Chain A
Amino acid sequence: MAMTHADSVFRALADPTRRQVFERIAAGETHVAALTAGLPISQPAVSQHLATLKGAGLVRERRKGRRVYYRAEPAGFDPLVAWMARAGAVWPERVERLKSVLERMDR
């Protein structure tokens, strides 16, 4: 359900290095070697992060020749957006405005 999807997205983005990997992918499709080049961690560590990001639905991979390319999954943030609607003040705020309208109608 939505709660489970949001959990894995939150966990995936909690790690600062993994978040950095994701941000680079979001900036443009790339591959493991290119990602590893700019980071102070090993390629296996990058691959592990990629597996976590993929598991959380944040990135998708495709094979091109001998390389695997990663790009951001457009729907990846959807569980976060849904969580924000649930946890945030969106509907409570609207209901407060409704109450004001109802009060004005009463006069």
Chain B
Amino acid sequence: MSEAAEEFTFETELGAPPETVWRALVEPDLRQAWLPEAGEVVAARPPDELTVRCDGDDLVTFTIRPANEGARLTIVHRREAAAPGGLRMAA
């Protein structure tokens, strides 16, 4: 039985301009400071969409939109079911 991938969406407003948020996402030193769990960049579409590997094989897509207070960040975390390295039961 195969299971579909699971997706989880989280949204937040940030008090910084979209271009600053983009830098914090795309520059490795800056990203490492708040998301050390991030792996390789899978896709980048400046200035507002970035997809990275995270927590092993998961894919996380960040989308930046302008908002009243600065920027709205949407995070879509996609987990593949039964990925190796996930929670394992006794062998």
A interface residues (Cβ-Cβ under 8 A, vs B): 2, 5, 26-28, 57, 72-82, 85-86, 91-92, 94-95, 97-102, 105-106
> Shortest beta-carbon distance, B72 to chain A, in Å?
12
How many residues of B are counted as interface, with CB atoms below 8 angstroms from the partner's CB atoms? Answer: 28
Shortest CB-to-CB span from A20 to chain B, Å, is 15
Please determine whether B24 and A98 come into contact, CB atoms closer than 8 angstroms: yes
Tell me the dominant secondary structure on chain B's binding face.
mixed
A-chain residues with CB within 8 Å of residue B81 when the two chains form the complex: 75, 78
- Residues on the A chain within 8 Å of B73, using CB: 95, 98
Report the separation of the CA atoms of residues A19 and B3 in the bound assembly, to the nearest whole angstrom: 23
Query: Contact flags (1/0) for B6-26 with A, using CB distance below 8 Å?
Result: 101010101110001101100
Q: Taking A85-B77, A100-B34, A101-B34 as contacts, is the C-beta distance between A78 and B87 under 8 angstroms?
A: yes
A106 with B20: CB separation less than 8 A: yes
Q: Does the CB pair A99–B6 fall under 8 Å?
A: no
CB <8 Å contact, B8 and A101: no
| A80 contact set on B, CB distance < 8 A | 87
